[in-house]
């Protein structure tokens, strides 16, 4: 069996926070930012790591890279203990913190990339080849000689990606790499990550709030909430498990009374339109409802102009999860607490 790229067993991180209690009194409280997280990521996987703000994503990433030391639990990345073997690990992984930059602000991008070669002791020939490849894939050529401070956010992010990958790491850890990027830049970054994973076999762990990133790139997602892993599995599984309702929007010929469908017409209990706006009405169909039967009943009893059935997007699924809305979260494969 191959060694997992990342193996976390009951990893926890506690921060001590001092809060004001009026006047000069301070109370020390312990905050468990990560509260016993276990998972394994195999070589070649592309995993999305999701969760609301403050859920513990960035803390996890900083433990994975050895910047922070776990309070308890065991963590191996590339077979190494990150906090003890930080230097050795850094040579084998690449990290991009979307909101920060590794590049030298006042110097041309080319110089920052040259320093990466010195830092990771890459052979000059290998470096030249890799730089040429990354320059082509990330379209860096037009701004290689521009000081980093003059780059647009999208250009800078591409520069940071190149810097993280120049030493050809086995694992790439990305903390919100598309934050603030326009659609074109996002597409470039996503296409690049997809190729890096598919062609070089680089394992990628991606933290993001951009669900477009997740839907396009990740076969597997892990969701962390309140420091605990709430879900670990496929994206499709996530959609299925959260028992998503569908929304039927029906436009009638003229405004009418609120539509009510009887039990026999839906296959899943009676349904009443939850919203009425003039001739338009919105009916929420539970997963068990038979949409075809509902449409047939509507067409029989009303003069219907138009009809649209909307699947719940991944965004609504997650919003439900983050709110702790357990109506969304009733079956499937949540990680055992």
Partner 1 sequence: MGVLPWVWWYGFRRHLAYPMGSLAEALTNTAFGFMRAYILLALWEARPSLGGYDATDAVTFCFLTQALIEPVRVFGGMDLTQRVRTGDVAIDLHRPVGLQSWWLADDLGRAAGSLALRGAPPLVAGALVFGLRGPGPAGLAAFAAATLLGVLVSFGLRYLVALGTFWLHDERGLQSVTMVLSLFFSGMVLPLVVLPGRLGTLAHALPWAAQLQVPADVFLGRLTGADLAAALAFQAGWAAVLLAAGAALTGAARRRLVIHGG
Closer residue to partner 1 in complex, CB, 100/310: 100
Our measurement of the distance from residue 60's CA atom to the centroid of its chain's CA atoms, rounded to an integer in Å, reads 13
Query: What x-and-dash track marks residues 8-37 binding partner 1 by CB under 8 A?
Result: -------x----------------------
Burial of 89 (0-12, 13-18, 19+ CB in 10 A): buried
Interface with partner 1 (CB under 8 A), residue from 26, 84, 100, 219: 100
Interface with partner 1 (CB under 8 A), residue from 105, 123, 308, 333: 105
Determine if residue 289 is left, alpha or beta; phi over 0 gives left, psi from -120 to 50 gives alpha, anything else beta: beta
Distance between CA atoms of residues 75 and 6, nearest Å: 8
Closer residue to partner 1 in complex, CB, 121/300: 121
Window of 65-73, 222-230, 261-269, 311-319 that interacts with partner 1 by CB under 8 A: 65-73
101 binds partner 1 (CB under 8 A): yes
Shortest Cβ 180–partner 1 spacing (Å): 14
Shortest Cβ 92–partner 1 spacing (Å): 10
269's CB contacts (< 8 A; 6+ apart) are 263, 286
Interface with partner 1 (CB under 8 A), residue from 91, 128, 258, 323: 91
Window of 104-112, 223-231, 237-245, 328-336 that interacts with partner 1 by CB under 8 A: 104-112
104 binds partner 1 (CB under 8 A): yes
Interface with partner 1 (CB under 8 A), residue from 90, 109, 181, 297: 90
202 binds partner 1 (CB under 8 A): no
Task: Please name which of 149, 147, 144 lies closest in space to residue 132, comparing C-alpha atoms.
Answer: 144
Q: Are 332 and 237 in contact (CB under 8 A)?
A: yes
DSSP letter string, 307-336: EEEEPPPHHHHHHHHHTT-TTS-SSS-BPP
Per this entry, what is the length of the chain? 337
84 binds partner 1 (CB under 8 A): no
Measured CA to CA in angstroms, residue 207 lies from 52, 178, 317 at distances of 11, 10, 17
Restricting to residues 109-128, which ones interact with partner 1 according to CB under 8 A? 111, 114-115, 118-120
Task: Please name which of 150, 152, 137, 146 lies closest in space to residue 188, comparing C-alpha atoms.
Answer: 137
Interface with partner 1 (CB under 8 A): 15, 53, 58, 62, 65-69, 86-88, 90-91, 95, 97, 99-102, 104-107, 111, 114-115, 118-120, 147
């Amino acid at each position: 069996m191959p060694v997992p790229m990342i193996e976390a067993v009951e990893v926890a991180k506690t921060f001590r926070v001092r809060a004001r209690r009026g006047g000069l009194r301070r109370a020390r409280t312990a905050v468990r930012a990560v509260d016993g997280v276990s998972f394994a990521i195999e070589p070649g996987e592309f995993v999305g790591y999701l969760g609301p703000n403050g859920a513990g994503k960035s803390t996890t990433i900083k433990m994975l890279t050895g910047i922070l030391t776990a309070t308890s639990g065991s963590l191996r990345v590339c077979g190494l203990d990150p906090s003890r073997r930080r230097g050795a690990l850094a040579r084998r992984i690449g990290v991009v913190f979307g909101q920060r930059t590794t590049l030298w602000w006042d110097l041309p991008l080319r110089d920052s990339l040259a320093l990466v070669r010195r830092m990771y002791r890459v052979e000059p020939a290998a470096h030249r080849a890799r730089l040429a490849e990354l320059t082509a894939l990330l379209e860096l050529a037009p701004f290689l000689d521009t000081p980093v401070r003059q780059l647009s956010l999208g250009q800078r992010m591409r520069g940071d990606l190149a810097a993280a990958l120049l030493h050809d790491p086995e694992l790439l850890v990305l903390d919100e790499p598309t934050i603030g990027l326009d659609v074109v830049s996002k597409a470039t970054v996503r296409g690049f990550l997809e190729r890096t994973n598919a062609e070089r076999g680089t394992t990628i762990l991606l933290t993001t709030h951009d669900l477009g990133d997740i839907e396009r790139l990740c076969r597997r997602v892990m969701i962390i909430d309140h420091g605990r892993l709430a879900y670990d599995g496929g994206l499709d599984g996530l959609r299925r498990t959260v028992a998503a309702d569908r929304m039927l929007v029906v436009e009638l010929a003229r405004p009418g009374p609120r539509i009510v469908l009887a039990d026999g017409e839906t296959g899943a209990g009676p349904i009443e339109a939850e919203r009425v706006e003039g001739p338009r009405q919105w009916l929420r169909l539970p997963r068990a409802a038979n949409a075809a039967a509902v449409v047939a009943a509507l067409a029989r009893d009303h003069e219907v102009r138009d009809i649209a059935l909307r699947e719940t997007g991944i965004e609504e699924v997650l919003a439900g999860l983050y709110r702790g809305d357990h109506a969304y979260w009733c079956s499937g494969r949540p990680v055992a607490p």
